[in-house]
Amino acid sequence: MQQVLSKAFLALVSLTTGFRVLTLQAQLEPIQIPGKFDLSGRTELSQPGFQIRIHQANEDLLNTELEREKVLAGMRPDSLGFPLENFAKETGAAREDWILGHTFLAEGAVDLEQDGKAAGAANEEQMIPGIPGFEEKTSFLTAEILMLIEIPESGTYSFGLNASGGFTVATGNVNDVMDIIRIAEVDGHQEAITTRFDLKFEQAGIYQFRTLWYTGDGNASFEWWTLDSEENRILLNTEGGLRTFNNQPDPLTSFVRSTPSPDAKGVLLNQSALEIEIKHDLSSVSNNSITATLNGEPVTPRIQVTGDTLNVSIELNELSAFTQYDWTLSFDSESGSREIASSFTTAIFGAEGLLFIEAEDFDFGRGQWEQRTPTGMTGAYPGGAYRNRGNGAGETDVNADTDFGVDYFEDPSTNGKPLSAYRPDTGVETVRRTSQEDTKRGTFSVITNHSVTDNNEGEWLNYTRDFPLSANGSKFEYHIFVRASSGDKPIHASLGLVSPNPESGELTVNTVALLNPGRATADSSTFELFPLRETDSQPGEGNALARVELGGTEVLRITTLAESSHDLDYFVFLPAASAVEPGEIISFARDGNHLVIEYTGTLKSAASLASEYTPVKEASSPFTVIPEDSQKFFIAE
CATH of the domain at 449: 2.60.120.260
Closest CA to 74 of 50, 96, 101: 101
Residues 6+ apart with CB under 8 A from 33: 171, 172, 181, 199, 200, 201, 202, 207
d(CA 146, CA 137): 24
What is the Cα–Cα distance from 166 to 212, expressed in whole angstroms?
Answer: 8
| Alpha-carbon 404 to chain mean position | 37
Helices (H) and strands (E) in the chain, counts: 2, 45
Write the single-letter amino acid at 243. Answer: R
Verify that 379 and 514 share a domain, yes or no.
yes
Q: DSSP class of residue 539?
A: S
With 0-12 / 13-18 / 19 or more C-beta atoms within 10 angstroms meaning exposed / middle / buried, residue 297 is exposed
**HSE, side-chain direction, 13 A CA sphere, residue 240:** 9
User: Cα angle at 542 between 539 and 544, to 5 degrees?
Assistant: 95
**Pair (300, 383) in one structural domain:** no
Closest CA to 196 of 28, 3, 64, 65: 28
**Contact assessment for residue 184 and residue 224, using Cβ atoms and an 8 Å cutoff:** no
CATH number at residue 297: 2.60.40.1220
Contacts of 93 (CB under 8 A, 6+ apart): 102, 103, 104, 129, 130
Q: What is the CA radius of gyration of the chain?
A: 32
Domain identity same for 174 and 263: no
* Total residues belonging to the chain: 637
Q: Judge if 168 and 64 occupy the same domain.
A: yes
Distance separating alpha carbons of residues 43 and 363, to the nearest angstrom = 71
Burial state string for 524-536 with b = 16 or more CB within 10 A and e = fewer than 16: beebbbbbbbeee
Q: What type of residue is 127?
A: M
The residue among 23, 5, 28 whose CA lies nearest residue 13 is 23
71, containing H or E segment: helix 65-72
CA distance readout (Å), 625 to 594, 611, 615: 6, 19, 14
Question: Is the domain of 361 the same as that of 385?
Answer: yes
**Domain boundary pick from 300, 325, 346:** 346
Within this chain, do residues 86 and 154 fall inside the same structural domain, yes or no?
Answer: yes
CA-to-CA dists, residue 598 to 215, 302, 430, 472, angstroms:
75, 48, 55, 20
Q: Say yes or no: 565 and 603 in one domain.
A: no
Number of domains into which the chain is organized: 4
User: Using an 8 Å Cβ cutoff, are 121 and 215 in contact?
Assistant: no
Given a contact cutoff of 8 angstroms between Cβ atoms, the answer to whether 271 and 349 are in contact is: no
Q: Dmax of the chain from CA atoms?
A: 106
Coil/strand/helix, residue 66: helix
Amino acid letter for position 547? R
pLDDT of residue 1: 31
Q: Assign residue 386 a region: left if phi > 0, alpha if psi is -120 to 50, beta otherwise?
A: alpha
- Asked which of 245, 264, 280 is the last residue of a domain, the reply is 245
399 vs 402: CA distance, rounded Å: 8
Instruction: Tell me which residues of the chain have a pLDDT lower than 50.
Output: 1-27, 578-581
Residue among 625, 510, 430, 355 at smallest CA distance from 633: 625
Return the number of other C-beta atoms located less than 10 Å from residue 261's C-beta. 12
Cross-strand partners of 531: 481
| Phi, psi for 375 (deg, rounded to 5) | -135, 25
Do 73 and 86 meet the contact criterion of CB atoms below 8 Å apart? Answer: no
CB atoms within 10 A of CB 569: 22
Q: In a 10 Å sphere around its CB, with 0-12 CB exposed, 13-18 middle and 19+ buried, how is residue 184 labelled?
A: buried
Domain closes at, from 533, 551, 575? 575
Q: What contacts 556, CB < 8 A, 6 or more positions away?
A: 357, 462, 463, 464, 465, 495, 496, 497, 498, 571
On the CB side of 115, how many CA atoms lie within 13 Å of its CA? 6
The domain in which residue 592 lies consists of 584-636
Let me know whether 379 and 528 are in one domain: yes
Run of H or E including 460:
strand 460-467
Regarding beta strands 324-333 and 336-346, do their DSSP bridges make them parallel or antiparallel, or are they unpaired? antiparallel
Whether residues 174 and 286 share a domain: the answer is no
Residue 606: per-residue pLDDT? 83
> Distance between CA 562 and CA 482 in Å, rounded?
18
Distance CA 126, CA 107 (A): 10
The pLDDT of residue 511: 96
Please state, in angstroms and rounded to a whole number, the distance separating the CA atoms of residues 57 and 78: 9
Same domain, 280 and 163: no
**CA separation, residue 297 to residues 31, 294, 327, 328, 341 (Å):** 35, 5, 9, 10, 13
What's the pLDDT score for residue 117?
A: 60
Closest CA to 146 of 183, 99, 97, 110: 110
Is this structure's pTM higher than 0.85? no
Cα angle 251-257-262, degrees, rounded to a multiple of 5:
130
Q: How many CB atoms lie within 10 A of CB 169?
A: 23
Measured CA to CA, the distance from residue 169 to residue 5 in angstroms comes to 10
Residues 126 and 184 occupy one common structural domain? yes
What pLDDT sits at residue 301?
94
Burial 588-627 (b: 16+ CB within 10 A, else e): eeeeeeebebebeeebbbeeeeeeebeebeebebebebee
Residues 277 and 203 in one domain: no
